[in-house]
Amino acid sequence: MAAPGRNQGLSGNGTIAILGAGSMGQLWAGYLPTGTVTFVPRREVTPETGKSALSYTFQPFEGPEVVVTVPYLLATEARPPLLMVTTKAGDTLDAVESNLHYVSPDTPIVLFQNGMGCQQAVAERWPQRPILAASTTEGANRPTPGCTVHAGKGETWVGPLTGSATTHLRQVVTALGTSGLTVHAAQDIHRRLWDKLIINAGINAFTAILDCPNGDILTDPFYLEHIDELCDEIAKVMKGDTEEALPSITIRERIEMIARKTARNTSSMRSDRQRGRPTEIDFINGYIVRRGHELGVDVPTNQMLTNRIKQLLP
Ligand code: KPL
């Protein structure tokens, strides 16, 4: 385990900074060794403006519930050796931009967003910086304010998006591994992001439109009417985007395996809808629509799901 305040393999002695204190940020902060992690506050923390730490109840996958207290990163001390970005996909570019002033040009930045497009946008904006993406199948949710639950045990792959990130990959994997969660290095992270995109594209919009837990889509006539065409479109766009061809039946099997495995879960998009928050549709089915248009692939089912979600939410 890393000594408090130090992070093995990363340059500098500061704490890993997590930007985005939602369920994914709180999951990692709950498992990383005490004293090695801070949250980036929404506004600068000063003695006048308030709290110096965020506390919440954390239910690990195994073992008793614990109270986790994570200090906020103080502007005066800020020089984190690693920045983990766990914001919603649509907030990522702006969030990174507003925090770069205290992040050294050679500090690795790891993007944990669902979907695709926002990670590439960050890498394109700052091509000289070490930008990495993470694709995770860990499941976390916040059933009540102040309480985060590690609901599903998974794995995390981390890989470089920019040239200079390659030399940081090993250290980043080691640092994230101090959490005790399973973390792998992935040279081809784009492909790993696609593996997750397939699942989100096949589950999230259906659950939000039908307002049901993940498993219930499997017998719903709306899902059954559209899933084969959706998988055909995904297969074609994926082939154009990654050179990797997956038969559409395999795509459907993967979607349905996860829908069964997470049958009682509320998907992140259904949860966004229930809470009246913006969804990540532009980075899931919306991304497939954009790439489809660029590649000359017809994507009417992805377009229909994207439109339906946008009609439901502001
Ligand atoms: O990642 C998910 C999400 O809700 O965003 C799935 C895999 C669909 C689990 O709910």
**How many whole angstroms separate alpha carbon 189 and alpha carbon 132?**
9
Answering whether pTM is above 0.85, one says yes
Distance between Cα 142 and ligand 1 center (Å): 14
Residues 160 and 105 in one domain: yes
Residues 261 and 116 in one domain: no
- Domain-located, residue 86: yes
3-state secondary structure of 24: helix
DSSP 77-123: T---S-EEE-S-GGGHHHHHHHHGGGS-TTS-EEE--SSSSHHHHHH
Best residue for ligand 1 mutational test, from 137, 262, 271, 272 (most atoms within 8 Å of Cβ): 262
The domain boundary, picked from 187, 219, 253, lies at 187
Count of CB atoms situated within 10 Å of the CB of 271: 18
152 CA closest ligand 1 atom index: 9
Minimum CA distance residue for ligand 1 atom 9 = 267
Minimum CA distance residue for ligand 1 atom 2 = 267
Span 232-274, pLDDT tens digits: 999 999 999 998 889 999 999 999 999 999 999 999 999 999 9
Span 24-55, pLDDT tens digits: 999 999 999 999 999 998 876 655 566 889 99
Minimum CA distance residue for ligand 1 atom 10 = 267
Distance between Cα 44 and ligand 1 center (Å): 32
Residues 95 and 180 in one domain: yes
- Domain-located, residue 120: yes
The whole-number pLDDT of residue 4 equals: 43
**How many whole angstroms separate alpha carbon 270 and alpha carbon 200?**
12
- Domain-located, residue 305: yes
Measured in whole angstroms, how far is the alpha carbon of residue 125 from the centre of its chain? Answer: 19
Distance between Cα 309 and ligand 1 center (Å): 16
Span 121-146, pLDDT tens digits: 999 999 999 999 999 999 999 989 89
Q: The tokens 């090993």 sit on which residue? A: 170
Distance between Cα 46 and ligand 1 center (Å): 37
Nearest to 25 by CA among 38, 6, 42: 38
3-state secondary structure of 189: helix
Residues 25 and 165 in one domain: yes
Residues 308 and 163 in one domain: no
- Domain-located, residue 241: yes
Residues 166 and 27 in one domain: yes
H/E element, 310:
helix 300-312
Residues 174 and 295 in one domain: no
The domain boundary, picked from 187, 209, 226, lies at 187
Residues at CB less than 6 angstroms from ligand 1:
114, 139, 199-200, 203-204, 214, 258, 262, 265, 267-268
Q: Residue 231 pLDDT more than 90?
A: yes
The CATH code of the domain that includes 102 is 3.40.50.720
Count of CB atoms situated within 10 Å of the CB of 215: 18
Provide the residue range defining the domain that includes 252: 192-312
- Domain-located, residue 153: yes
**How many whole angstroms separate alpha carbon 239 and alpha carbon 245?**
5
Measured in whole angstroms, how far is the alpha carbon of residue 247 from the centre of its chain? Answer: 26
Count of CB atoms situated within 10 Å of the CB of 224: 11
Q: Number of structural domains, the chain?
A: 2
